[in-house]
Amino acid sequence: MSFAESLKKNNLSLWNKAHVNHPFIEGIQDGSLEFEKFKHYMIQDYKFLIEYCRVISVAISKSFDHKIMSFWSKLLDETLNSEMTLHESFCLDFGISKEELYNSETTLGTKSYCNYLLSTAYKYDIEYISCSLLPCQWGYDEIGRRLAKKNKTLENSFHSRWIQAYNDVEYQEITNWLINYVDSIQQKVDNEVANEIFQEALEFEYLFWESSWNLK
């Protein structure tokens, strides 16, 4: 079993709770998720992406191999200059203005998740930073693939558009690179610490879904 797979297996119950069985995800899949909950999610996800870019920037500064630095640099460019622009466009298409996107308050749950990732990035080396980002990248990849196969939503609905966004070849390539990188670091890290970081990030993933589901 690869190192990434072992991290997932060690936390499988929590993984399923966050990325498989959560009612928010099930609501996207069958088209029953209310727009207000989706709107809350989109605004908070935008806030998250801003801080996510800061985490990637720290990862770049801690990369000593130019190929690894190149990957993180491409991810930063993709997130900052493509994904966030698409995020804004997506929101406008469904009536969420730029002003609302920019000026809405960041929830405590979003702040806590971002603070965790940033503090981990500043405290640890690049190998551990990768473990902290893996639950989000890999989780969304799996959700996108799975929901695309079982998509019961109306074409051009916000549910369907979201599924299409994460069932994306380029996104999947990033996931594969990150999984392979985490597999390569098993002998370089304290496996218990890596698992703890993976688990804590996964907890925050669950709480992020919970926040939007409960509009908090």
Tell me the domains of the chain and their CATH numbers: 3-211 (1.20.910.10)
Q: How far apart are CA 207 and CA 65, in angstroms?
A: 34
Q: How far apart are CA 107 and CA 15, in angstroms?
A: 23
Active site residue 91: no
Sign of CA dihedral 183, 186, 189, 195: positive
Predicted pLDDT of residue 111: 97
**Low-confidence stretches of the chain (pLDDT beneath 50):** none
Residue 107 DSSP code: P
The residue annotated as part of the active site, out of 127, 136, 173, 210, is 136
Mean pLDDT of the chain: 94
Predicted pLDDT of residue 85: 86
Residue 19 near residue 143, CB atoms below 8 Å:
yes
Q: How far apart are CA 103 and CA 116, in angstroms?
A: 23
Predicted pLDDT of residue 150: 79
